[in-house]
A and B are shown apart, each in its own frame.
Chain A
Amino acid sequence: MSEEKNITFIITRQDDPNSQPYEETFEIPYRNNMNVISALMEIRRNPVNAEGKTTTPVYWDMGCLEEVCGACSMIINGKPRQSCTALVDQLDQPIRLEPMSTFPINRDLAVDRNRMFDSLKKVKAWVPIDGTHDLGPGPKMPESKRQWAYELSKCMTCGVCLEACPNVNSKSDFIGPAALSQVRLFNSHPTGAMNKSERLQTIMDAEGIMGCGNAQNCVESCPKGIPLTTSIASLYRDTAIESFKSFFGSDQRV
């Protein structure tokens, strides 16, 4: 065994959704190639804090452990990101873990991201094809479009963009970049485009597209590198055209 080396974690904890948050420090033995989750597992195995007192294990959410499910997002040294891909070797010590502040806290580092899933339902982020009979194959999608649409489909609803956005907070009901980008994704789909107007009308609100303030933190923070601000700008264009069509009339609507 090589020399004993410890890593320090300062974790913001909260016992239940309504109690006061508090900080707790943990010293855990270093192992090679640790990520934040393996460190949290070590705390769970031996829940003793830096003062030597036995405490409750720190609670957090996780799923895939390969940055595709979005469940393990938390604030690590000030930046929201997934704890599965946060490697201890690349982090400054002490490592500070906090729950994302934009969401209601369930317990410790686990937050309730339901508002994001509600947003996806609100904007109808799917292609509606259910029916009583076979509709046959849909129209083809150009390859050039498929390529950028695929990038948008990488969204895992992790909540990092909402956490980074200065306009998503307790004073505003802004839907956030993630759901907006999904509107662009499903409007770009040849079959999904049949509900394009409906999706655009849903986001034509101060809480929808107009809630954006162009601070562009979302695109800087997105772990999947999704061009969120391009999506939003494209929706600005689409909603502007949609407003003209719906107010002055178009061939689809009188």
Chain B
Amino acid sequence: MAGSRGYVNRRLHSLLGVVPIGIFLIQHLTVNFFATRGPEAFNAAAHFMESLPYRYVLEIFIIFLPLLFHSIYGVYIAFTAKSNLKNFGYFRNYMFMLQRFTGIITLIFIAWHVWETRIAIGFGWADLNYQLMEGILTDPFFFWFYIVGVISTTFHFSNGLWSFFVSWGITVSPRSQRIMTYVSIIVFIAISYVGVRTLIQFAYGV
């Protein structure tokens, strides 16, 4: 047996956050970015994703099951930490607490987002097109809800990528960990831009 159940769970939690969830996140933001080329381009891209073969298998095994495991186990991890930023105000400690905080925000955001889009579409309450997102995001409250949700998600992914590199024994030396911090900041800025730019397109049509 390769370690206890707790060990395997933690390893799985760390792996699933990047493969497949992180990869899905980047794919999802990229496909949505088609919106900046206009409603037709977005509808075509969304339709392509919608009509992928064995789509339910892909959705269940690449998105929903990994996401469920990562989020449920993640909530448990988040609530076993005890914040001590007051006496230990170091950069990594802030990142540690932010990772847990954004994890919870991201979970709330994604739960709402899946309900409002994928589940609503599944039940036939809504159609997958540009107008669906435009309708949601022209409401200022939901625009800002999505801004917070998207930035929280991209932060959680980028900082999680840093931890992933440590947890799998890739970045061991302090120097490599420091360089990875810079890389994760660049990843954060880049994918946040992609996400936020798309939201602005839906909300303001620019």
Judged by a CB distance under 8 angstroms, whether B88 is at the interface is yes
Question: Inter-chain contact count A-B, CB under 8 Å?
Answer: 116
- Centre residue among A79, A213, A239, A246 by max chain B CB count within 10 A: A213
Q: Is there contact, CB below 8 Å, between A206 and B166?
A: no
Contact between chains at B87 and A79 (CB < 8 Å): yes
State how many angstroms separate the Cβ of B21 from the closest Cβ of chain A. Answer: 19
A233 interface residue (CB < 8 Å to B): yes
Given contacts A167-B80, A239-B3, contact A78 B169 (CB under 8 A): no
Task: List B1-24 residues whose CB lies under 8 Å from chain A.
Answer: 1-4, 6-7, 9-11
A49 at the interface (CB under 8 A from B): no
* Interface residues as binary, B109-145 with A (CB distance below 8 Å gives 1, 0 otherwise): 0000000000000000000000000000000000000
- The distance in angstroms between the C-alpha atoms of A214 and B91, with both chains bound, is 11
A70 at the interface (CB under 8 A from B): no
Task: Tally A residues with Cβ within 8 Å of B.
Answer: 40
Roughly how many angstroms separate A139 CA and B83 CA in the complex, as a whole number?
A: 45
Main secondary structure on A side of the interface with B? helix
Contact with A along B65-98 (1 / 0, CB 8 A): 0000000000001011111101110101101110
B82, B167, B168: the one contacting A166 at CB < 8 Å is B82
Name the residue of chain B whose CB is nearest to the CB of A239.
Answer: B3
- CA of A246 to CA of B7 in the docked complex: distance in angstroms? 13
Number of interface residues of B (CB under 8 A): 38
Report chain B residues within 8 Å CB of A167: 80-82
CB–CB B82/A230 < 8 A = no
Q: Which of A79, A205, A209, A233 has the most chain B CB atoms closer than 10 A to its own CB?
A: A233
Interface residue B172 (Cβ < 8 Å from any Cβ of A): yes
- The answer to whether B79 touches A230, judged by C-beta atoms less than 8 angstroms apart, is no
Indicate whether B51 reaches chain A with its CB closer than 8 angstroms. Answer: no
Does A243 lie within 8 Å of B93, measured CB to CB?
no
Q: What chain A residues lie within 8 Å of B84 (beta carbons)? A: 164, 166, 217
Tell me the B residues contacting A by CB distance below 8 Å.
Answer: 1-4, 6-7, 9-11, 77, 79-84, 86-88, 90, 92-93, 95-97, 99, 162-163, 166-174, 177
Residues of A that sit less than 8 Å from B by CB = 78-79, 164, 166-167, 169, 171-172, 201, 204-210, 213-217, 220-221, 227, 229-230, 232-234, 236-244, 246-247
